[in-house]
């Protein structure tokens, strides 16, 4: 990945809330076309960092460039090339998914094929359904569709699979990979180790506002093993989640 083009550059990013330093001088690059994950426990500073990249939150100091554009004075240009998940509160209860997409594309001043867009996230059968009638996984998939309306170069997803069941999570991972494979760079936050390992091309591990490791999941694991680490207990080749998935099937079945 060394020849990859940097699409996001974060240098010495600091965010203070009053006296409390939530982000303590973190630096990382995101490469074009990858799924980059900020992995860390609750309160580590993931959402704060993400929202600063999205131009939704002011930083205290440091430099953040999004496709070469500076978050300090090029917010409008940045907003045109990024996709951000809208809060569920924006999903007017009386409108169908189709109508919501029409509304949002109007706000972005974009012409989109709503049906194609719903199909791309596996929701073509739900075009006439209202948002509140969707399952958790379907809501997340719809929310991801809304990030794609302006045909962005980069999308930001904040803990996209929190609260979902195993099948819905795997469906969402497939969807996120498809989006990456079509050329969109994806930045996600997660506190799930398995999500980072399965989904992310590279991860930055963040803890108490600092990045404590950054690499591909494979490299992070290999480095640990090379340091002489051994698991105490032998690990089985499958776990209960695999049993459940094998019993119930792995297709788009979180209806
Ligand atoms: P979570 O997964 O729980 O959202 P996170 O890694 O995304 O965690 P942040 O939401 O970025 O973490 O919060 C980092 C720290 O900053 C936390 O200690 C949080 O309490 C604090 N914090 C976040 N937003 C504010 C705010 N608006 N005012 C004061 N403190 C805040």
Angle at CA of residue 10, ends 8 and 14, nearest 5°:
150
Q: What is the pLDDT of residue 58?
A: 96
Q: What is the pLDDT of residue 236?
A: 74
Helices marked H in the chain — which ranges?
A: 46-53, 75-81, 97-107, 114-120, 136-147, 166-181, 193-199, 217-226, 240-248
pLDDT reading at 5 higher than 60 = yes
Which among 233, 231, 205, 201 is positioned nearest to 217, based on CA atoms?
201
**6-81+153-248 carries CATH number 3.30.465.10:** no
Q: Please tell me the distance between residue 123's alpha carbon and the centre of ligand 1 in angstroms.
A: 33
Q: Which atom of ligand 1 is nearest to the CA of 48?
A: 11
Q: Please tell me the distance between residue 47's alpha carbon and the centre of ligand 1 in angstroms.
A: 7
- Which band of pLDDT confidence, cut at 50, 70 and 90, is reported for residue 62? very high
Per the prediction, the chain carries an average pLDDT of: 90
Condensed to tens digits (0 to 9), the pLDDT of residues 186-200 reads 999 999 988 999 999
Residue having the nearest C-alpha atom to atom 28 of ligand 1: 17
- For the chain, give the percent of residues with pLDDT over 70: 95
Domain chopping of the chain, boundaries: 6-81+153-248, 91-151
Q: Which residue has the higher pLDDT, 57 or 111?
A: 57
pLDDT reading at 89 higher than 70 = no
Q: Which atom of ligand 1 is nearest to the CA of 209?
A: 14
104-108, 115-119, 171-175: the lowest-pLDDT one: 104-108
Q: Which residue has the higher pLDDT, 142 or 248?
A: 142
Condensed to tens digits (0 to 9), the pLDDT of residues 207-243 reads 999 999 999 999 888 887 788 777 777 677 777 777 7
pLDDT reading at 251 higher than 60 = no
Other CB atoms within 10 Å distance of the CB of residue 202: 21
Other CB atoms within 10 Å distance of the CB of residue 11: 13
- Which band of pLDDT confidence, cut at 50, 70 and 90, is reported for residue 176? very high
- Which band of pLDDT confidence, cut at 50, 70 and 90, is reported for residue 28? very high
Task: List ligand 1's pocket residues with C-beta within 6 A.
Answer: 17, 20, 22, 40, 42-48, 191
Global model pTM greater than 0.75: yes
Q: What is the pLDDT of residue 254?
A: 56
Mean pLDDT of 23-41: 96
Mean pLDDT of 59-63: 98
Maximum pairwise Cα distance, the chain: 58
Q: What is the pLDDT of residue 253?
A: 54
Q: Please tell me the distance between residue 144's alpha carbon and the centre of ligand 1 in angstroms.
A: 23
Q: What CA–CA distance (Å, rounded) separates 17 from 69?
A: 25
At 31, is the secondary structure helix, strand, or coil?
A: strand
Condensed to tens digits (0 to 9), the pLDDT of residues 110-165 reads 888 999 999 989 899 999 999 889 998 899 999 999 999 999 999 999 999 988 88
Residue having the nearest C-alpha atom to atom 23 of ligand 1: 48
């Amino acid at each position: 990945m060394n020849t990859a083009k940097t699409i996001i550059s974060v240098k010495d990013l600091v965010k203070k809330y009053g006296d409390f330093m939530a982000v303590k001088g973190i630096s990382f690059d995101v490469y074009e076309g990858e799924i980059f994950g900020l992995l860390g426990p609750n309160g580590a500073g993931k959402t704060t960092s993400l929202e600063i990249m999205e131009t939704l939150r002011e930083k205290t100091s440091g430099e953040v460039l999004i496709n070469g554009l500076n978050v300090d004075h090029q917010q409008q240009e940045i907003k045109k090339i990024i996709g951000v998940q809208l809060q569920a509160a924006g999903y007017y209860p009386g409108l169908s998914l189709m109508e919501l997409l029409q509304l949002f594309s109007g706000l972005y001043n974009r012409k989109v094929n709503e049906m194609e867009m719903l199909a791309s996230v596996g929701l073509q059968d739900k075009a006439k359904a209202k948002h509140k009638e969707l399952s958790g996984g379907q809501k997340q998939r719809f929310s991801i569709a809304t990030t794609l309306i302006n045909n962005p170069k980069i999308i930001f997803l904040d803990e996209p699979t929190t609260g979902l069941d195993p099948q819905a999570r795997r469906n969402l991972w497939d969807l996120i990979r498809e989006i990456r494979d079509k050329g969109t760079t994806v930045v996600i936050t997660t506190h799930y180790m398995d999500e980072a390992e399965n989904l992310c091309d590279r991860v930055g591990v963040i803890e108490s506002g600092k990045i404590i490791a950054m690499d591909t999941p494979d490299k992070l694991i290999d480095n640990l093993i090379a340091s002489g680490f051994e698991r105490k207990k032998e690990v089985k080749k499958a776990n209960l989640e695999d049993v459940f998935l094998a019993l119930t099937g792995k297709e788009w079945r979180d209806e």
